[in-house]
Structure 1
């Protein structure tokens, strides 16, 4: 199809909730005869797919304790870690102009102009020599198409593994689980590559492939009630955590006073149906612990504080709280009996 206008937008923010809100704002803004390229970065963020369980995909407590943010996007696919060594791109188009081949061709073409030869592989990845540097996801509505992806330029691979590594034997979920892949940075292929090089190449290739008589650059961040409402939704606990699928959690540890196993479901981000098993001598204390965990927001810190409030004078429960605070699924200090 022919386009009347192409629109270029670069975000100056690194907050994932604001950036995802702007992306949806641009989807709503996109006309029937225009194409939009949106480029953006998030700092210290794990982004999960729309149908994923964040606790199954990332070390949530660890991420937040170290100043990171969790975000949930509107598209499917797996969890990804974003930092300022990663660039995100979004193609926003009328549904009839949507073509994954053309959109990915734009990215691959831009990389070729920078001296990087890459290819599409598997379900949604771009690779160099079999090593992944980009994942993609999409959303199609009746009238619009959104396709966005990542470009690992100089991402911190240690943090990527630190926040996305979860023990699959300890957490079973009805959601969608990510598949680990070998990953690389584009600077591994071209060490001198800069962020500005990548930004400019993507825009040049986009303008070459989506020709239109009018080019509009969105120089300002959006304002107004619509954008503010979208940003508030993306940062809300209900969107980030409450929409996650139910999951079943089992954690266990042996203490000097007895073994402890805690099982519970997570529904709408809160503990549900907790059961505690233990060979501790004080059976009533163990029975009471299960009741005290019901309805607590699923955060290891919140669980630890709930135990302390319920049993302020019990040394066994003080030890239990310290253990929970270490995030026994997602942390490094688990001592499984």
Structure 2
């Protein structure tokens, strides 16, 4: 039994999976499998992903959210994930943290988007203790009025997932692939990405953030570390993930549709 389990035997059990630069699509496939085929609680931490990749929510529309021509020109992969939420571009500077839980795992927590969001915010209160102006604004984690963490969720009959992309660092040029979404949070006030987001590295060292996140999780759960290569042996259930990379043809079709729409408006 892990030391944390001995110390926190009254807390619900949670498996901790730490990964380093695992491709985001592989991470999403793993998380969906754990959500739909496992009955355990999980925390998945992935410290970066190798290549710049756009990740959209399940209902995202590329033409509305992306500069699709630039994405195609620069061969940026675009993933439509299995959860809701907004659009992000992630790379080696992004830290991903996901909680996958049974509905009864957190006592008193109602398995609806806002209560889960509020619970996660309290957990990160512990992580960012001492950091100036950390708060939850609408569905984002911010320092003051600048976003550094975007969230997405999926809730099933008996389980839920809450995952976050933390902008520890990012390339300014990558943000030009993203448009300002039509359904942006009010506090954004139509600001460009350069004025809307900020880097976590200016507040907290990378390793310290991960360490604090694990310590905060240990106040809610008894953690047991599981290596990534052991997870496949936990469950042989056949599973078809729904997160996928959009093909070049699918992206080109959105450009044609947008061009046709502009043409019809000009006639």
Q: Same fold (TM over 0.5)?
A: yes
Per the alignment, residue 205 of structure 1 pairs with: 216
SS of the residue aligned with 1:78?
coil
TM-score, structure 2 normalization: 0.73
Cα deviation per residue 1:240-259 (whole Å; 9 max; x = unaligned)? 959x99x9513xxxxxxxxx
Segments ≥4 residues shifted beyond 4 Å: 176-181, 224-228, 274-278
Q: Kindly tell me: are residues 108 and 150 of structure 1, through their superposed partners in 2, closer, same or farther at Cα, counting changes over 3 Å?
A: farther
- Give the greater-gyration-radius structure (CA): 1
**CA shift digits 1:215-274 (9 cap, x unpaired):** 3212124447758742xx433548x959x99x9513xxxxxxxxxxxx159xxxxxxxx9
**Aligned match of 1:76 in 54, 71, 84?**
84
Unaligned 5+ runs, structure 2: 1-9, 110-115
Alignment of 1:157-176 (within 5 A): 157-160=172-175, 162-165=176-179
Structure 1 partner of 2:207: 196
Q: Does the alignment pair 1:91 with 2:106?
A: no
CA-based RMSD: 3.4
CA contact (8 A) 2:53 2:90 kept: yes
Q: How many aligned positions are there? A: 234
> Please, which runs of 5 or more residues in structure 1 have no aligned partner?
169-175, 251-262, 266-273, 279-337
Q: 1:149 aligns with which of 164, 174, 182?
A: 164
- How far the C-alpha of 1:177 sits from its partner, in A, is 4.4
2:197 to 157, 167, 183: 183
**Alpha-carbon distance in structure 1 between the residues aligned to 2:265 and 2:141:** 46
Q: For residue 125 of structure 1, what is the aligned residue in structure 2?
A: 140
Matched residue, 2:258 = 249
- Relative distance call for 1:200 and 1:275 in structure 2 (3 A) is same
Higher relative contact order (CA 8 A, sep 6+): 2
Residues 39-80 of structure 1 show CA distances to partners (whole Å, capped at 9, x for unaligned) of 123330111111110122112342243242111122222211
